[in-house]
Chains A and B, each alone.
Chain A
Amino acid sequence: MDISTTTDVPPPASPPSPVERKRAARGATRPGDRVFLGLSRGSGILLLVIMAAIAVFLTYRASLAISRDHGNFLTTFEWNTNLNPPVFGIAVLAFGTVVSSVIAMVIAVPIAVAIALFLTHYAPRRLSGPIAYVIDLLAAVPSIVYGLWGALILVPHLRGLYGWLDTYLGWTGIFAWEEGAPRTMLAVGILLAIMILPIITNVSREVFRQVPRMHEEAALALGATRWEVIRMSVLPFGRSGVISASMLGLGRALGETMAVATVLSPDYDIHASLLNPGGGTFAQNIASKFGEASEQGRDALIASGLVLFVITLLVNGAARAIIARRKEYSGANA
């Protein structure tokens, strides 16, 4: 195949007029195309308008609340919107949201990747189908069910783990436990890990399945063991996919509401130990405060929601940046 064959196409009978050429370049020559172009452009613009409207609304209500806030919105360890003047701040919520999500990621990502590798490279085909199916089912369970399960079954059973952590790792301060009910950030993190497991597993499994057969066979031909194949061809190829999967999971963990509200014992203080009750997350705080909130309280909650929105945007942006840097491994170039 050389270039001449592609340029060999017979030229059009007459050279196209500038108008026709323009039209051809746009590609909208037939009515169907034009309608579709209009529809898709309209939808795109509509989406931007909706997003802008939401952003304007959130910012307006948030600015109303913050202008009345007697404390510092970013650093106050309190949430008391019914006082006059009201005092509230998001420090504890931001900390709790990030900490609980990080715990969830630390637990869930390795397990999810391990499950995905097992399903794609170790498990017999008969077994991998049903396992994948069950993991899919986990994603379909409503979060309030996880919350109830967490509060009634998981939390009471955590005492043993907490005692063990306190005995062997209590000296770090992070795992010191004062014998309270284990309704803490760590419990929330464990629950969130279970909740985000299916999405990370599924996306990772799909990515690992896309690894070109040739890469693996080449590695095998060079005498690599199965683990070496995974380490040298599967993991590098799937890295950006796993990162995107983790970000999807992180997004769910950051915004999880009912499960956290059911399991956590919130307060507006930051504790050094993960094993002592307290803390809070944005979504949990909104869920538990909204019902009885006054106008002022709602605006304050909206302001906190705006911060969660910004944090999520930052996380997604970071994820995109990481993936963009690793483009050479993406499926398109393989």
Chain B
Amino acid sequence: MKLQRKNRLRALSLGAVAVSSALALTACGSDDNGEGNGSGGSSAAASAGSVKCDDAKGQLLADGSSAQKNAIDAWTKVFSPACNVQINYKGAGSGAGVTSFTQGQIAFAGSDSALKPEEVAASKKVCEGGQGIDLPMVGGPIALGYNVPGVDNLVLDAPTIAKIFDSKIKNWNDEAIKKLNPGAKLPDLKIQAFHRSEDSGTTDNFTKYLLATTPENWKYSGGKAWQAQGGQAASGSAGVAQGVKQNSGAIGYFELSYAKGLDTVAIATGAKAPVKPSTESATAGIAAAKVVGTGKDLALQLDYKTKAEGAYPITLVTYEIVCDKGNKADTLPATKAFLRYIAGEDGQKVLAQNDYAPIPAEIIAKVRTTIEGLS
């Protein structure tokens, strides 16, 4: 009898351990979005006084780019309590966001790429008398993180990056890499290039950079899906960063905020010194962009070939997409107040605290004017 009871106890405790560890693991899975929010929220909370609410109230539904999810979260922490507006941003992806927007389900969408002509046409059904427009709001450097033992200041240029990610350069002690890093001790190690396994705006922007700077080495058409053969794929920026950390000889691309604990590549752009990714260098890179949107649309064309000193060329800009005219009456005040806050000085300051790049002054000034004109 005694023995039996002991066994039962043992089984129970075993079960308890299994259950609790399962719970602990699920907890890990669900909060990987929370990175970097804490600092932004607390320091920005002090500036909540500058939020102008007007008659904003109720609930704002929004969806879209997961790349700007952390920024929206940080902004929401300040804006929501100040104006008593609940903001529900899902971060299901740019495609999903634009689809929900053109179906009239959400107040604004976040997107890594500007609206395509057919999407603008679709938006006219939702925006009575107007159309969907792109407002650049969040910038971000796409960092190249690497894991090569004994190498901490790696410099690469566009053709080399293209060849690495296209499996043309297969080893770290390749001549092309040696030439760019004369002082480094490059090991005889196989390169494992990590890319995203799912369609992603980060992939889109990274391949746009390769296409613009070195079309002879990057013979693909680009887009959100990865097209080159070979290499390793992982899901999400977090997955790519994880893969690079786990595998010696790995290199991968992701937003800067995921690069914690990893060395990042400095890009030889043609400027005097190679440029490391940072929020400032990204803002400098975006400053070279041209507004290509017509009317109130502020879609940007980034200059990936920029040779300006300290300008990091591989950046992505995410937009908020709203109607210029014909926004829904019940959400317009809240949408306007929120956009005014995030485009304002305090809102843009929050970005840098979360590893995003603020939009350069000249462009953000136009964004502010456009927001005031929304109706």
Where the two chains meet, the residues of A that have a C-beta atom closer than 8 Å to any C-beta of B are 79-83, 126-127, 129-130, 133-134, 137, 140-142, 144-145, 148-149, 151-152, 155-156, 178-181, 183, 261-262, 264-267, 269, 277, 288-289, 291-295, 297
Residues 322-361 of chain B: 1 if any A CB is under 8 Å from the residue's CB, otherwise 0? 0000000000000000000000000000000000000000
The answer on a CB contact under 8 Å between B96 and A292 is yes
> How far, in angstroms, from A269 to B239 measured CA to CA in the complex?
21
Query: Is B197 interfacial (CB-CB < 8 Å)?
Result: yes
The answer on a CB contact under 8 Å between B95 and A266 is no
> How far, in angstroms, from A291 to B67 measured CA to CA in the complex?
13
The answer on a CB contact under 8 Å between B224 and A82 is yes
> How far, in angstroms, from A141 to B92 measured CA to CA in the complex?
25
> How far, in angstroms, from A261 to B29 measured CA to CA in the complex?
14
Of the residues A80, A149, A178, A288, contact of B198 by C-beta under 8 Å: A288
Residues of chain B from 207 to 232 with CB closer than 8 A to chain A in the complex: 221, 223-225, 227, 229-232
> How far, in angstroms, from A144 to B25 measured CA to CA in the complex?
9
The answer on a CB contact under 8 Å between A265 and B233 is yes
**Chain A nearest CB, measured from B196 CB (Å):** 9
The answer on a CB contact under 8 Å between A289 and B223 is no
> How far, in angstroms, from A266 to B163 measured CA to CA in the complex?
20
> How far, in angstroms, from A292 to B226 measured CA to CA in the complex?
13
The answer on a CB contact under 8 Å between B29 and A145 is yes
In the complex, the 4 A-B pairs of residues with the closest C-beta atoms, listed nearest first? A291-B93, A130-B11, A288-B198, A292-B199
Where the two chains meet, the residues of B that have a C-beta atom closer than 8 Å to any C-beta of A are 3-4, 7-8, 10-11, 14-15, 18-19, 22, 25-26, 28-29, 66, 92-96, 99, 190, 192, 197-201, 221, 223-225, 227, 229-235, 239, 242-243, 246-247, 250
Known: A80-B225, A142-B26, A156-B246. A293 touches B192 (CB 8 A): no
Of the residues A129, A156, A264, contact of B11 by C-beta under 8 Å: A129
Chain B positions within 8 Å of A140 at CB level = 22
> How far, in angstroms, from A178 to B249 measured CA to CA in the complex?
13
> How far, in angstroms, from A263 to B38 measured CA to CA in the complex?
30
Sample 18 A-B pairs with CB under 8 A, ordered by A number. Answer: A79-B225, A80-B223, A81-B225, A82-B223, A126-B3, A134-B18, A137-B18, A145-B26, A180-B232, A181-B247, A261-B197, A288-B198, A291-B66, A291-B92, A291-B95, A291-B198, A292-B94, A295-B99
> How far, in angstroms, from A288 to B231 measured CA to CA in the complex?
17
Chain B positions within 8 Å of A137 at CB level = 15, 18-19
> How far, in angstroms, from A263 to B20 measured CA to CA in the complex?
23
**Chain A nearest CB, measured from B205 CB (Å):** 13
The answer on a CB contact under 8 Å between B29 and A144 is yes
**Chain B nearest CB, measured from A270 CB (Å):** 12
Of the residues B15, B190, B235, B239, contact of A133 by C-beta under 8 Å: B15
The answer on a CB contact under 8 Å between A291 and B232 is no
Known: A82-B225, A148-B29, A291-B92. A181 touches B232 (CB 8 A): yes
Chain B positions within 8 Å of A289 at CB level = 198-199, 225
The answer on a CB contact under 8 Å between A149 and B25 is yes
The answer on a CB contact under 8 Å between A126 and B199 is no
Chain A positions within 8 Å of B8 at CB level = 130
Give the nearest-CB partner of B65 in chain A: A292
Chain A positions within 8 Å of B198 at CB level = 288-289, 291-292
Not counting A83-B223, A265-B234, a sample of 20 additional A-B residue pairs whose C-beta atoms are within 8 angstroms of each other reads A79-B225, A126-B3, A133-B15, A137-B18, A142-B26, A148-B29, A151-B242, A152-B242, A181-B250, A183-B234, A267-B230, A267-B231, A267-B233, A288-B197, A291-B96, A292-B93, A292-B96, A292-B198, A294-B95, A294-B99
Chain A positions within 8 Å of B224 at CB level = 82, 292
> How far, in angstroms, from A233 to B173 measured CA to CA in the complex?
64
Chain A positions within 8 Å of B246 at CB level = 155-156, 181
> How far, in angstroms, from A181 to B195 measured CA to CA in the complex?
13
The answer on a CB contact under 8 Å between B235 and A292 is no
> How far, in angstroms, from A81 to B198 measured CA to CA in the complex?
12
Q: Which of B93, B95, B200 has the most CB of A within 10 A?
A: B95
Of the residues B14, B22, B232, contact of A145 by C-beta under 8 Å: B22
> How far, in angstroms, from A83 to B227 measured CA to CA in the complex?
11
Of the residues A81, A148, A181, A297, contact of B192 by C-beta under 8 Å: A181
